[in-house]
């Protein structure tokens, strides 16, 4: 496999990235933590992915798999990282981890709360004293304290427990899981934001700190506007399908060939929509004079619009509406999105030309852009190099590999 990546438009990294010089020891697995560390790695941080003897289990989450056995799931959130296999259940493994932390800026892990403490590597008692500038980020389901403290957490379960699932779906379907793992990925984003805030603060205090990031907190924080609507009104939110609970028309509507999403947030956009549909009289209809009236008369709004929308092809109408300043877009499939000219223009698809294809870098920085420089690592492919850089000699490295403390191949 080539060790360089490129976008279909030939984007190349112009710098080492905004986080060049930051070293992250990544003990996370599955999604939330790895998504966080990929963001950091995309922007230049050196991320050492420390994998247990059996590896990150998402390497086996498929199909689809590449010909070399790597899963799309794992490949999607682990680029730009280096991999070392390490058995942290052994004293020598913990010693190696301690050596890696000597030069690290960030430690991120998603073990069950209390695991590092059990290993003699708790933040308060050991890490904060031994490595005072270290930022320790812990990603868990519920945190370590409280009624649910210490329990395991998974995206769909947290969607259900947090109320997110209760407001997703339609009256016909009932509660439905959000199709993409928004809790895991939102938690990964929160972890990345917290790490960056801690790095900025450290530049003033010269001290690290502990970051407590949970799936539960992240999910509850995402309950906008429904959560805030409830806190103000005292009324439990109901499932509204694709429609917005506060704005209308903010929903899917049927065109001649497929569905369009309209997001009309003010009276000016409503008037422009009516004009584009050849129905200017709708702008003057007292039932629809403002958002409050349109929200209260949703059935009538939908009937009036779909009667006219069925005369238009979706893509053409959406473009016309966008040109007029009306937020609108076709309901596209994933294949349509991946081949869309704007996806390619924004370099949101990357490839190494040898079978690795993935989503691009979402945050665009002008002077220090992020980049997809290196495909996700094979298990343990950097074990020897990482140990050498940590100061281990060849004989010591061979000893660690021979006794199973460090690994270059996954255990079955």
How far is it, in rounded angstroms, from Cα 254 to Cα 311? 10
User: How far is CA 109 from its chain centroid?
Assistant: 16
If 0-12 CB within 10 Å is exposed, 13-18 middle and 19+ buried, where does residue 68 land? exposed
Rg (CA), the chain: 25
Whether residue 382 lies in the annotated active site:
no
Q: For residue 386, give the nearest of 158, 59, 48 by alpha carbon.
A: 48
Q: CA torsion 331→225→365→25, rounded to 10°?
A: -110
How far is it, in rounded angstroms, from Cα 173 to Cα 240? 11
Q: Using H for helix, E for strand and C for coil, what is the string for 357-407?
A: EEECCCCCCCCCCCCCCCCCCCCCCCHHHHHHHCCCCHHHHHHHHHCCCEE
Q: Which one is catalytic: 184, 217, 352, 382?
A: 184
The full length of the chain comes to 412
Residues involved in catalysis: 184
């Amino acid at each position: 496999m080539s060790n360089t990546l490129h976008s279909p438009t030939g984007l190349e990294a112009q710098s080492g990235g905004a986080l060049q010089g930051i070293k992250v020891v990544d003990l996370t697995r599955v999604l939330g933590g790895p998504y966080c560390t990929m963001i950091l790695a995309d922007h230049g941080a050196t991320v050492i992915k420390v994998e247990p003897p059996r590896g990150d289990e998402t390497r086996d989450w498929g199909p689809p798999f590449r010909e070399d056995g790597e899963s799309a799931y794992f490949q999607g959130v682990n680029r730009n990282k280096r991999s070392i296999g390490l058995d942290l259940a052994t004293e020598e493994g913990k010693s190696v981890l301690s050596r890696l932390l000597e030069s690290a800026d960030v430690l991120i892990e998603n073990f069950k709360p209390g695991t590092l403490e059990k290993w003699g590597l708790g933040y308060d008692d050991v890490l904060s004293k031994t490595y005072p500038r270290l930022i320790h980020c812990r990603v868990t389901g519920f945190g370590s304290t409280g009624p649910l403290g210490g329990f395991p957490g998974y995206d769909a379960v947290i969607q259900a427990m947090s109320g997110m699932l209760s407001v997703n779906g339609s009256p016909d379907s009932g509660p439905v899981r959000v199709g993409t793992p928004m809790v895991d990925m939102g938690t990964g984003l929160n972890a990345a934001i917290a790490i960056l805030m801690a790095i900025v603060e450290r530049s003033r205090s010269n001290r690290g700190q502990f970051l407590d990031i949970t799936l539960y907190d992240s999910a509850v924080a995402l309950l906008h506007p429904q959560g805030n609507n409830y806190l103000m009104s005292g009324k439990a939110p109901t499932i509204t399908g694709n429609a917005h609970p506060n704005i209308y028309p903010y929903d899917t509507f049927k065109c001649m060939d497929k569905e369009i999403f309209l997001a009309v947030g003010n009276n000016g956009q409503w008037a422009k929509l009516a004009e584009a549909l050849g129905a200017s009289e709708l702008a003057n209809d007292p039932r629809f004079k403002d958002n409050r009236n349109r929200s209260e008369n949703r059935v009538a709004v939908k009937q009036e619009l779909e009667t006219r929308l069925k005369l238009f092809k979706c893509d053409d109408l959406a473009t016309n509406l966008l040109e007029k300043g009306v937020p609108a877009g076709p309901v596209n499939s994933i294949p349509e999105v991946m081949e869309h000219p704007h996806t390619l223009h924004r370099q949101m698809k990357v490839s190494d030309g040898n079978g690795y294809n993935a989503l691009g870098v979402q945050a665009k920085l002008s002077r220090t852009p992020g980049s997809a420089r290196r495909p996700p690592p094979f298990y343990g492919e950097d074990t020897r190099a990482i140990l050498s850089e940590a100061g281990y000699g060849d004989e010591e490295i061979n000893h660690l590999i021979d006794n199973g403390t460090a690994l270059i191949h996954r255990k079955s």
